[in-house]
Structure 1
Amino acid sequence: MEKPFVKLHQIIDEFHLNLFYAPAGCLESHVTSMDVYRPGLQLVGFYDHFDAGSIQVLGKVEWAFLQGLDPHQREKVFEQLFEKKIPLLIFARDYQPSPECLAMAEKYGVPVAGSAEYTTDLMAAMTSSLHVHLGPTTTLHGVLVEVYGEGILLLGGSGIGKSETAIELVKRGHRLIADDAVDIKKVSAKTLVGSAPEMIRYFIELRGIGIIDVRRIFGMGSVKPTERVDLVVRLEKWEDGKPYDRLGVDEETMTILDIKVPALTIPVHPGRNLAVILEVAAMNNRNKRMGHNAAKELSDKLYRTMLAQQNPEENA
């Protein structure tokens, strides 16, 4: 499987970088590392554990150090850096590359660019963007909808009613992100973002009707290109006698790309309004993140009441 990549011209366009030097064909080259570094130690010759595949950024401190060197020393510093074939060197804070820098960049074919942004701001934004572009991905068969700002991933067997439930939610003012196939990307250590494959984006299949374009029928406000995965809801056929959770005290989770996501299992049978149930599930999930768990609060209240009944003298 090919390693995820982003083309260099996408980064240059996204961050409005000013190119000082760009060898032929470099804009189509691939960046595969999610890290962005300031090569401070490298400027003094320490290259142990250096990631040559990462974008390098020179800021105020590095600039001041380079200004204190004579031209021959600067040439040696940049030759050592560029011979590693880094994908891009960026000068932050509107600093300009020295003639020695450009000469070595041309010798080794390394693009050099500039930005007016502060160093830390540029690196933070670029790191975040690279995590979105290059994060590990997986595809799940399901439906992703946004309900009251919560991204809900609906899973379940074919014909269980995922798409029909999604349409009902859209009619109630919520938004569709993906139907049938959901591409999920890990963009940070705690965050998953879902989207639809480009080919089927904003389309949904309804048995008996066929394929419909949700954006055209319900308007632009009914769809969204991406959304966090905040809650997983598994839909399954109702089985008489099966002990379904009625209190919600136990915290169920599903692991996706090494991230644990809160999960619910909802039984489906005729007469249940799944759209309303999912609206409540979305609001309750947000409530839990804010530290309010109704099931635990009720359990604690019952426990305190039982203790009071067992020890009436202590509570007199």
Structure 2
Amino acid sequence: MIKVRTKDLIDQFHLELISGAAGIKRTITTSDLSRPGIEMAGYFTYYPAERIQLLGKTEMSFYEQLSDEEKKDRMDKLCTDITPGIILSRGFEVPKELIEASERESVPVMRSTVKTTRLSSRLTNYLEGKLAPTTAIHGVLVDIYGVGVLITGKSGVGKSETALELIKRGHRLVADDCVEIRQEDQDTLVGNAPPLIEHLLEIRGLGIINVMTLFGAGAVRSYKRITLVVNLELWDPTKQYDRLGLDDEKIKIIDTDITKITVPVRPGRNLSVIIEVAAMNFRLKRMGINAAEQFTSKQASVIEDGENEDI
């Protein structure tokens, strides 16, 4: 998981740092934000101090109705040694009680001119993307007709060579050899290449090539949602492979189940075309058109008609 610090929020959203500069390197551990309205009323029993605190029009208007003693008490309790930062929206004036408490506890106090709801949404989206669970998988990620296809298999089975042929056919490379994957939502996996090998493809006997330089900017993309996994394996004559396409195999990556297809590799098989058709067939299935099920249904109907004629 990538570490996010308060300073990153300041840089990303151009926040004005008001006080508590000593704490701008505090780590943010959750994408959840807190709007401490009930805390302003004095109830701190379940105060989520580890979250970014966002003060908007509602919180500040209530704060102005408090006595001087209550104002100091609330701000002292808002600023703790684990609070990563407090942000005021709409360009509100920062209370002197908050400045004093933040300097004492080294809690960064920041200000934005953006409206509270919009700022909350932007902060949450940014933090969820940065703090999402991540993993890395050995494989190749290619965008084929809008379908993010992760090609896996043992080293030397031909993943990169297949990807090169797919690129020549007009599809786009996302990552080769190592695919960094983050789970942005419950069922959403997004893959990208590590910065060191972005746009690069390794072909045994040829070496490393720069796909963007050779084929143009249209042959690459920075990231892509993964919806299909194609596993390449050497042909095993003792193994039974799916010939109808009825088997719905899944593979779990982080906490998400992804459809997996196993394609046997042997001389004479055009893997790039097979994977290209697999991606198109996957799109058809998502649209409700399943050729395998239609064939099975027709077959069952023919058999049933034949049995009725015999009777």
Q: Same fold (TM over 0.5)?
A: yes
* Distance (whole Å) between structure 2 residues aligned to residue 83 and residue 204 of structure 1: 49
Pick aligned residue for 2:129 from 117, 132, 155: 132
Unaligned runs of 5+ in 1: none
**What is the rounded CA distance, in whole Å, between the counterparts of 1:228 and 1:168 in structure 2?**
21
Aligned partner letter, 2:87: I
1:135 to partner: Cα distance: 1.6
Corresponding residue for residue 53 of structure 1: 50
Match of 2:38 among 24, 38, 41: 41
Over 3 Å counting, the alpha-carbon distance change for 1:77 and 1:183 in structure 2 is same
Letter in 1 for 2:250: T
- In 2, distance between residues paired with 1:199 and 1:179? 11
Q: Does 1:175 align with 2:172?
A: yes
**Contact preservation (8 Å) 1:85, 1:108:** no
CA contact (8 A) 2:200 2:210 kept: yes
> In the alignment, what sits opposite 1:155?
152
Whether the 8 Å CA contact 1:22–1:110 is kept in 2: the answer is yes
By how many angstroms is 1:183 displaced? 1.3
After superposition, residues 296-311 of structure 1 pair within 5 angstroms as 296-304=293-301, 306-307=303-304
Query: Which shifted more, 240-249 or 143-152?
Result: 240-249
Describe the shift of the 1:125–1:289 C-alpha distance in structure 2 as closer, same or farther (beyond 3 A): farther
Contact 2:135 2:180 in 1 (8 A): yes
The alpha-carbon deviation at position 153 of structure 1 amounts to 0.8
Q: What is the percentage of aligned positions where both structures have the same residue?
A: 43
Other-structure match for 2:99: 102
Please report how far the alpha carbon of residue 309 of structure 1 lies from its aligned counterpart in structure 2 after TM superposition. 5.5
**C-alpha displacement of 1:35:** 1.8
> C-alpha distance in 2, partners of 1:12/1:100?
22
C-alpha separation between the residues in 2 aligned to 1:103 and 1:257?
A: 44
| Range with bigger deviation, 291-300 or 269-278 | 291-300
CA displacement 1:237-292 (0-9 Å, x = unmatched): 12235321122222111001021111110111222222222222222222333333
CA 1:90–1:290 in 2, change beyond 3 Å: closer, same or farther? farther
Give the aligned partner of residue 116 of structure 1.
113
Which moved further from structure 2: 142-151 or 233-242?
233-242
C-alpha RMSD of the superposition:
2.2
Specify whether residues 93 and 181 from structure 1 end up closer, same or farther in structure 2 by C-alpha distance, changes over 3 A only: same
> Could you tell me how far apart the structure 2 residues matched to 1:205 and 1:165 are?
11
1:1-316 residue pairs with structure 2 within 5 A? 4-24=2-22, 26-304=23-301, 306-307=303-304
Against the structure 1 CA distance between its residues 257 and 59, is the aligned structure 2 distance closer, same or farther, given a 3 Å change threshold?
same
Query: What's the TM-score, normalizing by structure 2?
Result: 0.90
Q: Distance in 2 between matches of 1:55 and 1:34?
A: 8
Q: Is the CA contact (8 Å cut-off) linking 1:168 and 1:275 kept in structure 2?
A: yes
Distance 1:297 1:279 in 2: 21
- Deviation string, structure 1 residues 190-227 (Cα, Å, up to 9, x no partner): 11111222222222211111111222222222222221
Q: CA deviation at 1:301?
A: 4.1
Count of aligned pairs between the two proteins: 309
